[in-house]
Amino acid sequence: MRFRVWDTPFGRPWHCVRHRSAEMGPFGRLGTGISHIRSSASRASSRARDRARRPARKLENRLPSQARLRRAPSELQEVAKVSLTIGIVGLPNVGKSTLFNALTKNDVLAANYPFATIEPNVGVVGVPDPRLDKLAEIFGSQRILPATVDFVDIAGIVRGASEGEGLGNKFLANIRESDAICQVIRAFKDENVVHVDGKVSPKDDIETINTELILADLQSVEKAVPRLTKEARLQKDKVAVLAAVEEAQKILEAGDTLFSRGITAGTETGRLLHELHLLTTKPFLYVFNVDEDELVDEDFKNEQRALVAPAEAIFLNAKIESELIELDDDEALELLQSMGQEEPGLATLGRVGFATLGLQTYLTAGPKEARAWTIKKGATAPEAAGVIHTDFQKGFIKAEIISFEDLVETGSVAEARAKGKARMEGKEYVMQDGDVVEFRFNV
């Protein structure tokens, strides 16, 4: 173990111990635990005598977090992890499973018939972040750990799903568990792949899916209104909830999703509607599975963007994306540039998914790894520390921060410090995307 001393506001030092197995970070050991030791020699010796008399099990029961850290520090739990779950939905045979295969490099059943996906397939996908490559270069990191997105391939939806048609009930249950809805819309033409409605029409497909989601929400709202009307007579806090539900009912009856009208989980109306778990308050994004020539057809793409605004639209060819993952970087870039593209559609999807859910990352790096940690936009430094481990948040003291741009410009942590680019931030600091961080905490 290594000992360091920090000056306290009271002029007396903290004698601190760093856990040997903690990961090396850009400023020393990443998120190292700082255990306060009383400076009085008599107290220290008294504690040592007490510890010797006390069985080890009692020590662990009395000080569970410290005992765990000392016994098995490599087992730090990321108990505050911020996860991003996107449900991939669409009509049958639009390329959902092909897209999922490309996302996860797994071979789920991508059959050419309705309901090839019955149980949702779940895959964890790294979000491309070129900043990690640069950090790994600066710190000589052995591995790179990007932020991740959980993609769920959900059974194809058909007209009548809100009434249980096809696999409608499974579809609705699976989509309720997702944080965002990614609609895969077929725009490619292929006579060998049947369309469930007999024709390729992105506008009609979008209307079909949105209609089923709207009808499902209307059922929930119509059931809730009579109950909330009674409750509002006796409970004042239910008056605002009833008003929000009635507002949502008008929007849904007009044929609009709540998301398209600005009502999401983060808004005041969305919070009032939370107990109903409405589907159309979830953020939407759209993936258009297009033919190769449509990838560079700006008129076509603008027309589709207008259909889904204000949601984001992403254009890709799922088959080409599947081919790209089998190529090395140079060959993949050559293929993309031959189609007028600069990056894979999957890279765009990862970034857009992050933005859609209001997420961002902060960075850590050292000889062992360069890593991106996922947090909500607006998260404070202690909240960000808690993503690594709750002890980091509970005992938070300070965060030493260098922006990614400043670190790259100076070339090292030592140079960043020397040029005044490193700064100490406290509990009120709001994290910025790309902050390179070391947390200091006391447990």
Axis crossing angle, helix 168-176 with helix 202-234, rounded to the nearest 10: 70
Closest residue by Cα to residue 287 from 209, 387, 358, 223: 209
Burial group, residue 350, by CB count within 10 angstroms (0-12, 13-18, 19+): buried
Output 61 or 185, whichever has higher pLDDT: 185
**Terminal alpha carbon distance of the chain:** 16
Using a 10 angstrom Cβ sphere, with 0-12 exposed, 13-18 middle and 19 or more buried, the burial of residue 230 is exposed
Report the range of poorest mean pLDDT among 85-89, 176-180, 328-332.
Answer: 328-332
Tokens of 392: 């980091």
Compute the distance between CA of residue 222 and CA of residue 276 in angstroms, rounded to an integer: 11
Q: What is the pLDDT of residue 193?
A: 76
pLDDT of residue 118: 39
Question: Which amino acid appears at position 150 of this protein?
Answer: D
Q: What is the pLDDT of residue 401?
A: 95
pLDDT digits (tens, 9 = 90+) for 361-419: 999 999 999 999 999 999 999 999 999 988 899 999 999 999 999 999 999 999 999 99
pLDDT of residue 83: 58
Is 224 strand, coil or helix? helix
pLDDT of residue 160: 55
247 vs 108, higher pLDDT: 247
Provide the pLDDT confidence category of residue 13 given band limits of 50, 70 and 90: very low
b/e burial code for range 300-316 (CB count within 10 A of at least 16 → b): bbeebbeebeebbbbbb
Note the pLDDT tens digit of each residue in 170-209: 667 778 888 899 999 999 887 777 677 678 889 999 998 8
At residue 44, the pLDDT reads 47
Residue 396, phi then psi, degrees to nearest 5: -55, 130
Report pLDDT for 430: 95
- Burial of 243: CB neighbours in 10 Å, binned 0-12, 13-18, 19+: middle
| pLDDT band, very low/low/confident/very high, at 157 (cuts 50, 70, 90) | low
Which range, 50-54, 300-304, 338-342, has the best average confidence (pLDDT)? Answer: 300-304
Q: Residue 441 forms beta bridges with which residues? A: 396
How far apart are the C-alpha atoms of 347 and 365, rounded to whole Å? 22
Q: What confidence score (pLDDT) does residue 403 get?
A: 94
Q: What is the pLDDT of residues 332-355, one digit of tens each?
A: 888 887 877 777 888 888 888 888
Q: What is the mean pLDDT of the chain?
A: 76
274 within 8 A of 296, measured Cβ to Cβ: no
Proportion of the chain above pLDDT 70, given as a percent: 72
Residue-level pLDDT at 225: 93
Tell which wins on pLDDT, 102 or 74.
Answer: 102
Q: How many residues does the chain have?
A: 443
In the predicted structure, residue 57 carries a pLDDT above the cut 60: no
What's the gap between Cα 416 and its chain centre? 30
The span from the CA of 91 to the CA of 287, in Å, is: 13
| pLDDT higher than threshold 70 for residue 261 | yes
pLDDT of residue 8: 34
Give me the residues paired with residue 437 across strands: 401
The dihedral through the CA atoms of 44, 47, 53, 58 has a sign that is negative
Edge-to-edge order in the sheet of strand 180-186 = 121-126, 148-153, 85-89, 180-186, 284-289, 312-316
Model confidence at 244: pLDDT above 50:
yes
Question: Does the model's pTM come out above 0.85?
Answer: no
